[in-house]
Amino acid sequence: MIAMTQHSKTPLIDRLPTVQGRLTPDAPLAGITWFRVGGKAEVMFRPADRDDLIDFLRQKPRDLPVTVIGVASNLLVRDGGVPGVVLRLGRGFAEIRTEGEDVFAGAGALDFNIATAARIAGIGGLEFLCGVPGTLGGALRMNAGAYGRELKDVLVEAEAVDGYGNLHRLRPGDFGFRYRGSAIPEDWIFLSARLRGESDDPKVIARRMSDIQNARADSQPVRTRTGGSTFKNPEGAKAWELIDKAGCRGLKRGGAMVSEKHCNFLINTGNATAADIEALGEEVRRRVRDDSGIELQWEIRRIGIAADGDREATP
């Protein structure tokens, strides 16, 4: 059992408030991440609904670390696991409703399902979401984008709860959006958002969605164990071109490999550890720095602690 946040001999699970949803100690995370690697959550919490989550945050020990995850399509969970509570928003947060040219969705709704609901309702402009394999919560945090559009371009408003259970209504201007990120405090949890498109023919929308999916299948290793783009594109450059030029295409470390198909994707060839993937990423950064003088920044978020128990500072 991992007991990393214990101040006393009482296991963490016994110090948590009673909830309507599910609290699971020592919950394996590898199986629910796209990379299929990583350790356990000290405790996993799947709240039944919004009120359950808010009550939990209001009553939990104040110093308890809480990490929210979506479907972990942009996450590398380290091998030693994640101390504290890992929060996963499930069915109670997956509602999708269309109203005129708006789509209202819970933060646990899949981006693909949001794009599909918009298509059925004849709402164009949200097609790009069908190419992002995450949840709305992850898309809000990451300012997810593809094919010329980002979440910030379609957001009307969002609701979030902070680490103490206080609710916040957010307008796009409150987010401090930037390329693949925002300035919202790390401990805030998005609950839902309203997105806006424009009226369009469902057949035309369907064609655009299928073009996006075909383009992705041609250029990305979409059916492998990966975390999507590993590094952000530096100002005025493409990360994949820098990685290719530094000779990293196909580079391996343990069971991790730089994809031959798209060299800004790292893949788990079958038996990689999170340490293999992170070390390979750092090796790529080193080679690119030596080759072009450019310091690549991780887009993939790394959470948890290494197998030897070292807590890393970098998110």
Ligand X SMILES: Cc1cc2nc3c(=O)[nH]c(=O)nc-3n(C[C@H](O)[C@H](O)[C@H](O)COP(=O)(O)OP(=O)(O)OC[C@H]3O[C@@H](n4cnc5c(N)ncnc54)[C@H](O)[C@@H]3O)c2cc1C
Which positions are annotated as active-site residues? 180, 229, 299
Q: How far is the CB of 20 from ligand X (least distance, A)?
A: 18
Piece in contact with ligand X (CB under 6 A), picked from 2-10, 37-45, 138-146, 243-251: 138-146
Choices 19-27, 226-234, 252-260, 304-312; region in contact with ligand X by CB under 6 A: 226-234
Tell whether residue 222 is a contact of ligand X (CB under 6 A): yes
Asked whether 243 and 288 are in contact (CB, 8 A), the reply is yes
39 vs 145, which CB is nearer to ligand X? 145
Residue in the structure block whose two tokens are 């399902």: 113
Closest CA to 71 of 145, 144, 135: 135
Closest CA to 38 of 8, 80, 3, 91: 80
Q: Which is nearer to ligand X, 68 or 170 (CB)?
A: 68
Interface with ligand X, residue 109, by CB under 6 A: no
CB contact at 8 A, 78 and 68: no
Per the listing, tokens 């919004």 go with 50
Tell me how far, at minimum, the Cβ of 100 lies from ligand X, in Å: 25
Among residues 69, 109, 117, 263, which is the contact residue for ligand X, using CB under 6 A? 69
Of 17-25, 135-143, 168-176, 241-249, the window that binds ligand X (rule: CB under 6 A) is: 135-143
Q: How far is the CB of 229 from ligand X (least distance, A)?
A: 6
User: Applying CB under 6 A, which of residues 142, 155, 239, 272 lies at the interface with ligand X?
Assistant: 142
Closer to ligand X by CB, 13 or 222: give it. 222
Catalog residues that contact ligand X under the rule CB under 6 A.
34, 68-75, 89, 107, 131-135, 137-139, 141-142, 144-146, 189-190, 220, 222, 226-228, 301
